């Protein structure tokens, strides 16, 4: 299959991003911007040693993770640690609006690519630095990975069964959440730059600490601890901030989540299971009183779910307009008629594997229909195209390649 160029239509059309980050978090931020129409160029070392290129799942020599996470990008190779590589990067820089990097704090400075140098070559440049702990503080130079962010933010402390080990989910959640914050940060900085009327240079540095991004998701916990001395703990699937909210087993061995956070939804649950008598009086009238009786109420609903197969439970709950869902595997997601009706999964054209299923562009805009991006680029796939834009000819490119610079 011939490589299909990325679309550059969309809300961020005309924005050019140079993504020199590695693995998942920061590259995901750039990919989200690419989904919105930005032109993203992926820069990596000539040896293709980015960890994501070798992370499972792999088909032959091709990492599915790499291909999907870096979708829609042009790919170049450049060793910016070498003087000629650094010079080429600085020559390219005026062509870009945003530079994305995730090296340990101080690394680019060591390579002669400190912020002052970057802005000397492009005063309008927005630099996103996505690191584990930020550009300042005693942990600034520590390495960071998704599970570290999840552990240090307090997120993992909430995940798992009561009295048992904290849990990480089988996916780098800390990376993708910080990547979301990264894309939001880029869009925010671009908006501020566009609105600025100042004659001064409008470039800026974005200091995004992934641990802080995870902390930001746990909104009320600091106040809860400050004023009530509560350390929220693991409770399995049960919520301690509203009731009823839990996961229940069915007679045929499936799992179902049921939510009755509001008073209306709560009443519908007990109407559905034929226990409207539990709603009489004040005992379960308020959110606080319902939480006090969580064990009792969850037990009643659990027994009811165990007495019926999933399909029958869903039919009853749907008729009573009770919020619920089977706990989906990816197999269930792919088969779901709503997912199919909205084309929530798309097929990325790929020159090696044909097509790759992937989540659609999110969100949807009424005035724009996104073009399906192609999968992530091969090592140095667009070297001639991108370096040609700054006047590097074929012979010079061959020389640079022989020196391990590209």
Task: Report residue 103: phi and psi, to 5°.
Answer: -75, 160
Annotated active-site residue 114? The verdict is: no
Angle at 364 between CA 15 and CA 127, to 5 degrees: 30
Contact 17, 96 (CB under 8 A): yes
Please spell the DSSP secondary structure of 37-58, one letter per residue.
Answer: T-EEEEEE-TT---GGGGPSSE
Count of CB atoms within 10 A of residue 300's CB? 17
CB contact set of 188 (below 8 Å; sequence gap of 6+): none
Contact 357, 334 (CB under 8 A): yes
Task: Report residue 300: phi and psi, to 5°.
Answer: -65, -45
Catalytic residue among 79, 97, 175, 298: 175
Sheet strands side by side (includes 98-101): 73-77, 39-44, 16-19, 98-101, 126-131, 204-209
* Helix, strand or coil, per DSSP, at residue 404: coil
* Helix, strand or coil, per DSSP, at residue 153: helix
* Helix, strand or coil, per DSSP, at residue 277: helix
DSSP, res 250: -
Query: C-alpha dihedral over 92, 98, 100, 105, to 10 degrees?
Result: 90
CB contact set of 329 (below 8 Å; sequence gap of 6+): none
Sign of the Cα pseudo-torsion (93, 94, 95, 101, in order): positive
Helix axes 146-153, 173-195, angle to 10 degrees: 90
Contact 76, 406 (CB under 8 A): yes
Contact 324, 254 (CB under 8 A): no
How far is residue 35 CA from its own chain's centroid? 13
Active-site residues: which are they?
175
């Amino acid at each position: 299959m011939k490589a299909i160029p990325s679309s550059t239509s969309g809300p961020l059309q005309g924005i050019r991003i140079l993504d020199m980050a590695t693995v998942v978090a920061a590259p995901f931020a750039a990919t989200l911007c690419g989904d919105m129409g930005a032109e993203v160029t992926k820069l990596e070392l000539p040896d293709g040693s980015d960890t994501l290129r070798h992370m499972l799942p792999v088909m032959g020599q091709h990492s599915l993770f790499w291909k999907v996470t870096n979708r829609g990008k042009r790919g170049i190779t450049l060793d910016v640690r070498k003087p000629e590589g650094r010079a080429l990067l600085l020559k390219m820089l005026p062509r870009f609006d945003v530079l994305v990097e995730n090296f340990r704090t101080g690394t680019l400075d060591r390579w002669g690519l400190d912020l002052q140098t970057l802005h000397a070559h492009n005063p309008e440049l927005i630099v996103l630095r996505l690191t584990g702990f930020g550009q300042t503080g005693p942990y600034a130079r520590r390495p960071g990975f998704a599970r570290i962010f999840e552990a240090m933010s307090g997120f993992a402390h909430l995940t798992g069964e009561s009295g048992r080990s904290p849990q990480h989910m089988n996916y780098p959640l800390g990376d993708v959440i910080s990547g979301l914050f990264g894309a939001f940060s880029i869009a925010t900085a671009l908006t501020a730059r566009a609105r600025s009327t100042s004659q001064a240079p409008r470039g800026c540095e974005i200091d995004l600490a992934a641990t802080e991004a995870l902390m930001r998701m746990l909104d009320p916990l600091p106040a809860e601890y400050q004023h009530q001395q509560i350390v929220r703990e693991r409770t399995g699937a049960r919520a301690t901030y509203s009731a009823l909210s839990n996961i229940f087993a069915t007679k045929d061995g499936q799992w179902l989540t049921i939510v009755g956070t509001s008073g209306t939804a709560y009443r519908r649950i007990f109407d559905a299971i034929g226990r409207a008598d539990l709603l009489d009086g004040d005992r379960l009238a308020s959110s606080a009183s319902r939480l006090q009786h969580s064990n009792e109420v969850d037990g009643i609903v659990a027994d009811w779910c165990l007495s019926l197969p999933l399909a029958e439970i869903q039919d009853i709950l749907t008729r009573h307009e009770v919020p619920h869902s089977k706990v989906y595997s990816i197999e269930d997601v792919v088969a779901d008629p709503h997912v199919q009706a909205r084309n929530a999964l798309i097929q990325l054209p790929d020159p090696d594997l044909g097509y790759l299923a992937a989540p659609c562009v999110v969100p949807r805009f009424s005035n724009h229909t996104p073009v399906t991006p192609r999968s992530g680029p091969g090592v140095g796939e667009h070297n001639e195209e991108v370096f040609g834009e700054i006047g590097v000819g074929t012979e010079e490119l061959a020389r640079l390649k022989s020196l391990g610079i590209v």
